Amino acid sequence: MKTIFLIRHAKSDWGHVGLRDFDRPLSARGLRDAPRMSAFLANRGVKPDILISSAANRAQTTAGYFADAFGIAKNKIDLRRSIYDADAQDIMDLVHELDDNLNTICLFGHNPTFTHFANSFTNDYIDNISTCGIVQIVGNGANWKDFNAQTAQVVEQWFPKQIEI
């Protein structure tokens, strides 16, 4: 089985006039939610083989909290600038290129791309993956190139407003 934990970056801070979107940091709420959600996922026994993140500041920072929770060195996060401007097909292409020795991945990025991507694996419409929301998608194949809407499905969703830690 192959599992993706699709994790939207935590809430970003829009209060920095002149700062490029790519460089926006997390807001106070994001700095609260990222450690809570990462602890929640780690406490569920999740052990990712790899963390792959958009290179945007807010996604990297979110991924860093999850790395800490999983006991993974932050310098082991696979940063990909391409995720920042990606569409759902770009994310699918990234998934199809993954090494088949990897079984569980955490993928950090942005909306609307992540919501569109997640919706391709469910008949239950997901209106919006909230900031620091997590969607678990499980595939029944052994190969990432076979991971698609026919072989995988959304099995869980968690959002910060639902989680008490």
Per-residue pLDDT at 57: 98
17 burial level (CB within 10 Å; 0-12, 13-18, 19+)? exposed
Number of domains composing the chain: 1
| Residue range 20-70, pLDDT digits in tens | 999 999 999 999 999 999 999 999 999 999 999 999 999 999 999 999 999
On whether the CB atoms of residues 125 and 119 are closer than 8 A, the answer is yes
Residue 156 structural domain: 2-162
Residue type, 160: P
Q: What is the mean pLDDT of residues 133-139?
A: 98
Collapsed DSSP state (helix, strand, coil) of residue 137: strand
Specify the amino acid at residue 158.
W
Q: Which residue has the tokens 């700062």?
A: 19
Residues 38 and 6: their CA atoms lie apart, in Å, by: 12
CA end-to-end distance (rounded Å), the chain? 29
Q: Are 107 and 8 in contact (CB under 8 A)?
A: no
Instruction: Say if strands 152-158 and 134-139 run parallel, antiparallel, or are unpaired.
Output: antiparallel
Whether the per-residue pLDDT at 144 is higher than 70: the answer is: yes
Query: For residue range 84-124, what is the model confidence (pLDDT) as tens digits?
Result: 999 999 999 999 999 999 999 999 999 999 999 999 999 99
User: Which pLDDT belongs to residue 151?
Assistant: 95
- CATH code of the domain containing 58: 3.40.50.1240
Look at residue 165 and tell me whether its pLDDT is greater than 80. Answer: no
* Cβ contacts of 61 within 8 Å, gap of 6 or more: 9, 10, 25, 26, 30, 34
